[in-house]
Amino acid sequence: MTALLTPPSTAKSVRRDSAPFVRPLSAEKKRARRIDRVLTYVPVALFLVFTMVPFYWMLLFAFRPTGSTSLVPWPITLDHFSTVWNGSGFGIYFQNSLFVAVMSLVVSTVIALLGGYALARFPFKGKALFLVAMLCTQFVPGAMMLIPLFEIFNTLGLTNSLWSLIISDTVFHLPLSLILMAGFIRNVPMELEEAAWVDGCTRIQAFRLIILPLLKPGIVAVGSFAFISAWNNFLFAIMFLSSQDRFTVPVGLSYLLGEFGADFGALAAGGVIAIVPVVVLFAYVQKFLVQGLSAGAVKG
């Protein structure tokens, strides 16, 4: 008990002393272990139900015929999808969203690679200030930016252009991209780069040949998060886009929601179209997110 309160180094030596004695598990310990297992699986199952039921509910509405009240989507129908894809214009919205998300991904990743490399590898004056400023941007309400950004894009002739979304979304997402990327670059051993320099590489060559291949997981993670946040953006899209052929999926969804006596089947199908790219991507990159944050993003 007392060892618990002393610093870790002492605690370790205590462990080492007692390690050779492997005690047989008593009946009491076994029972405790079983209780522990129940206390793990039951709450995990509850969390899973809470998470998955809403997803299932949407799939149910999207795939079952209009008028059906069955809790199983059978017989499966794809009518709702053809309604929203062709009738409500989700085909076009999907293309627009894809363009915005992919361009945001490219722009954010390139900028984050450049800035992240500077943050990870160079000591420079104003670095702390730059980091603090980047963090401060997270405190600016998106709603607050609507008015001035609208004015700026108006001046630049970019209202009702998908580029207004790409730019504003990249800017808002940049701090996270930068900090994550700097963390990933810091994790690539400096010695590898130095070895390349010794062998006659320039800094850029070393970056391209040594760092970049090792950075693939980081690039995938940062790019994916930029993609997801751009794909999901609603507020800027509804403010900046005015003609229907420029709408993105979230804007299309909000119009489906707004319709009186909404067609729930169509709404659910629209939701499925909106969700598939991000959830697939997220399932693939979520462990990089945890790793990236573990790598020191939270601690700065």
51-90 binders of other proteins (CB under 8 A): 51-52, 54-55, 57-58, 61, 69, 71
Collapsed DSSP state (helix, strand, coil) of residue 181: helix
Looking at beta carbons only, is 92 or 171 nearer to other proteins? 171
Under the binding rule (CB under 8 A), the answer on residue 209 touching other proteins is no
Positions in 133-162 near other proteins (CB under 8 A): 133-134, 137-152
Reply yes or no: is the peptide bond before residue 75 cis, omega within 30 of 0. yes
Q: Of the listed pieces 9-17, 72-80, 84-92, 210-218, which binds other proteins according to CB under 8 A?
A: 9-17
Positions in 162-181 near other proteins (CB under 8 A): 167-168, 170-172, 174, 178
Residue ranges of alpha helices (H) inside 188-234 are: 190-198, 203-206, 212-214, 216-232
- Cβ-based burial of 107 (10 A; exposed 0-12, middle 13-18, buried ≥19): buried
Could you tell me which residues come within 8 angstroms of residue 143 by beta carbon, excluding any fewer than 6 positions away? 235
Burial profile 14-35: b = 16 or more Cβ within 10 angstroms, e = fewer: eeeeeeeeeeeeeeeeeeeeee
Diameter of the chain by CA atoms? 76
Q: Nearest approach, Cβ of 267 to other proteins (angstroms)?
A: 6
Kindly determine how many residues on this chain lie close enough to bind other proteins according to the rule CB under 8 A: 112
Q: Nearest approach, Cβ of 96 to other proteins (angstroms)?
A: 15
Per-residue contact flags (x/-) with other proteins for residues 90 to 129, judged by CB under 8 A: --------------------xxx-xx-xxx-xxxx--x--
Positions in 233-292 near other proteins (CB under 8 A): 233-235, 238-239, 250, 253-254, 256-257, 262, 264, 267-268, 270-271, 274-275, 278-279, 281-283, 286-287, 289-292
Q: What is the rounded distance in angstroms from the CA atom of residue 237 to the CA atom of residue 166?
A: 10
Q: Nearest approach, Cβ of 91 to other proteins (angstroms)?
A: 18
